Structure formats: structure tokens, C-alpha cells
């Protein structure tokens, strides 16, 4: 094998499992011995000894996003976008296992009452709003929607306070020009099957961890009750209307710094129109602030991501425009089929 010849798939990998939402993954102990054998068979060095480090960031490839049976399947225009992106990501991880030093998988992590879920708002006739509703600051000011007391009670605030808060939140979102408040179907609720990593991805992460001696620690984000957290690195809004800190709104600056110790940051995930775009925008902003030259280290794996497309809302064009803007800012766009040599620029 030459230095950059991709590996074959290990015997335990079954491509058919990629499309099976019910596949829970292999028990970790059952993966350990095959990973050790793979390490010996292919003379795999410990990741800590890599002369050049590649860090793979996999954003929110969870059951609810990856499969048609999921609560918020990221279908893309093809109708199979999320599942295709998952398969390409997993196969990329196995083929290029010797050159990937570390893998960080993020998990969108929600609880039942959050500002972007149907139960957080009531209509004028006191019914919960429907999923895929867009709520504006003007809607709240006009009284077309109001907060559900069930959201206020756990926070220890009044519905009047929460009305000010949601109005202010919508105003701030709209001022950024990125998003309005979008009411999503319930998805990725912590403790449910939809929250977990897709089984084939969990297998690949563990197999890589065992075979390369890599930590591969996951990162959870998104449980703040009063703000979206599309980006893994920061919530959309960090302070409340009265100047108080937003509950649970945490900036993952340590992860930003860790990623920038790598020679290349490979990015895959779902959805390219929302959580991927927001995360890459924050990563690029951090780079521009600290060392603009490092922007070229960010490599976006175009075929390992897909945008949200739901009835009445197709975010494909927005995702493509964002990728183009990231490339103009110095990031690079490749595919999972490009050779290792292309990673380093």
C-alpha cells in the first residue's frame, strides 16, 4: 500500500445498514478486537504520532436527521440527501482512517419546551402553533402569538416577561439577516431514539478511536430554552431582553481552539443550510479574528452534507450561497472522493 492509498472497508461494515434507522450500532466491546486486528493488519500508528493532523468535524448526523423515518429528515432536493451524506461520511472515515487524527461528532440536544418548538407558543385561539410556522417580532407585537405558560413556569418567569423576551429574540434574529424564528417539529429530544448518532456513524467513530488511539469525544449543543443553537460553537443570542445572561447559552471556545491546532479541519454534516452553515461561519469568524491565514485549513466536504427541504421551504439555494461565500473567505470545498493530498492545499 502506498502512503496515501485508501483502506478497504473493515469486515464489520455493511453498507445496507447505512439506510437503516433502526440499526443501533455494534456493542463497543465487540468492535474493540476487530479494531486492534485492523491496526495490526494495516500498521496503523497512534493518532498522537501524526506528523500532520486532520480533524474531522461531523455535525449532527443523528437518527432524526439522517433517515426518512426521523422527525426532521434532511432530505435535500434528491429526497435521499441525509442518508447519502451519512453513507459518504462513514465510508470516508473508514477509507481514510490512517490520515484522520481525530473525529468530533456534535449532537443537537433538545428538551420538550424550547422557543423553537410548537409547545412554546399559543395562537390567538390558545392552540399550539403548527410546525414549520415562521414567527416574527411583528407577530408578537400584534398579539397573533403569545408564550405558552408551560415554557415560562420552568424558567421561573412570568408570561409577560416571556412576551418581552420572545419579541426581543425575534427582533435580534431578524436583525442578523440570517434567520427568523422558525418553529421546528420536535426532534433530537435527549433520551429518545432520534437523538442518538446514526448507528453506522457511532460504529465508525468507535472503530477509529480504538484503531488510532483517538479520544473522539462528542459535543452536545442546543438545550438552551430561549435560543436556537444552530452553530456548535455559539447560540444565536446570548443575553435576554433585560440584559441578563441567556440560560444555558454557552460558547464552545475550547473546541474552536482545539480544531485550529489541526493542519486541516474536514467538515461534514447536517444540515448544510442551518447547523453546518452556522458552525462554519463561526469557525471562519474565529479564524479571521486570530489568524486569517488559517482559513485555508477549513475543508468543506460538499457531498457529505445536505440542506433542509420541507413542504413550503427549500433551503438549498441558501446553502449553496453560503458555501460559495466560505470559499471566497478562504475555506476550500472538496468531496469525499478527493485524495488525501488535496486536503493539505
DSSP string, 275-307: HHHHHHHHHHHHHHHH-GGGGGGEEEEEEEEE-
Report pLDDT digits (tens) over 203-260: 999 999 999 999 999 999 999 999 999 999 999 999 999 999 988 887 888 999 999 9
Query: CA quadruple 323, 53, 2, 6: dihedral positive or negative?
Result: negative
DSSP states of 191-215: TSGGGSBPHHHHHHHHHHHHHHT--
What the block records as the C-alpha cell of 118 is 410548537
What's the confidence (pLDDT) of residue 248? 81
Helix (H, G, I), strand (E, B) or coil at 264: strand
Report pLDDT digits (tens) over 255-280: 999 999 999 999 999 999 999 999 99
Q: Does residue 69 surpass a pLDDT of 80?
A: yes
Report pLDDT digits (tens) over 310-321: 888 899 999 999
Q: Does residue 338 surpass a pLDDT of 80?
A: yes
Q: Does residue 168 surpass a pLDDT of 50?
A: yes
**Predicted TM-score (pTM) above 0.85:** yes
Quote the mean pLDDT of the chain.
Answer: 95
Q: Does residue 2 surpass a pLDDT of 70?
A: no
Confidence band, pLDDT 50/70/90 cuts, at residue 185: very high
Judge if the upstream peptide bond of residue 101 is cis by omega within 30 degrees of 0. no
Q: Does residue 110 surpass a pLDDT of 90?
A: yes
Across 101-112, average pLDDT:
97
Amino acid at each position: 500500500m502506498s502512503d496515501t492509498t485508501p483502506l478497504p472497508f473493515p469486515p464489520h461494515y455493511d453498507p445496507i445498514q447505512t439506510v437503516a434507522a433502526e440499526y443501533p450500532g455494534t456493542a463497543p466491546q465487540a468492535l474493540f478486537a476487530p479494531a486492534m486486528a485492523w491496526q495490526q493488519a494495516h500498521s496503523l500508528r497512534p493518532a498522537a504520532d501524526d506528523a500532520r493532523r486532520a480533524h474531522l468535524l461531523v455535525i449532527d448526523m443523528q437518527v432524526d436527521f439522517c433517515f426518512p423515518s426521523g422527525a426532521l429528515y434532511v432530505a435535500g432536493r434528491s429526497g435521499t440527501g441525509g442518508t447519502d451524506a451519512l453513507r459518504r461520511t462513514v465510508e470516508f472515515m473508514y477509507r481514510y482512517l490512517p490520515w484522520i487524527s481525530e473525529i468530533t461528532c456534535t449532537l443537537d440536544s433538545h428538551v420538550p419546551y424550547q422557543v423553537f418548538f410548537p409547545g412554546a407558543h399559543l395562537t390567538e385561539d390558545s392552540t399550539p402553533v403548527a410546525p414549520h410556522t415562521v414567527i416574527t417580532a411583528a407577530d408578537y407585537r400584534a398579539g397573533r402569538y403569545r408564550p405558552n405558560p408551560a415554557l415560562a413556569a420552568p424558567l421561573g418567569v412570568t408570561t409577560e416577561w416571556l412576551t418581552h423576551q420572545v419579541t426581543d429574540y425575534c427582533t435580534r434574529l431578524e436583525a442578523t439577516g440570517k434567520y427568523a424564528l422558525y418553529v421546528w417539529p420536535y426532534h433530537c429530544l435527549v433520551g429518545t431514539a432520534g437523538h442518538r448518532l446514526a448507528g453506522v456513524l457511532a460504529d465508525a467513530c468507535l472503530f477509529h478511536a480504538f484503531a488510532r488511539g483517538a479520544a473522539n469525544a462528542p459535543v452536545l449543543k442546543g438545550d438552551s430554552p430561549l435560543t436556537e443553537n444552530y452553530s456548535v460553537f455559539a447560540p444565536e443570542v446570548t443575553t435576554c431582553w433585560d440584559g441578563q445572561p441567556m440560560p444555558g447559552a454557552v460558547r464552545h471556545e475550547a473546541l474552536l481552539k482545539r480544531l485550529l491546532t489541526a493542519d486541516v479541519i474536514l467538515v461534514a454534516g447536517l444540515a448544510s443550510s442551518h447547523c453546518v452553515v452556522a458552525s462554519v461561519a463561526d469557525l471562519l469568524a474565529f479564524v479571521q479574528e486570530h489568524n486569517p491565514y488559517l482559513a485555508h485549513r477549513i475543508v468543506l466536504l460538499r457531498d457529505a452534507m445536505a440542506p433542509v427541504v420541507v413542504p413550503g421551504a427549500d433551503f438549498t439555494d441558501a446553502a449553496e450561497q453560503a458555501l460559495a461565500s466560505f470559499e471566497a473567505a478562504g475555506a476550500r470545498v472538496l468531496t469525499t472522493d478527493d485524495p488525501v493530498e488535496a486536503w493539505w492545499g
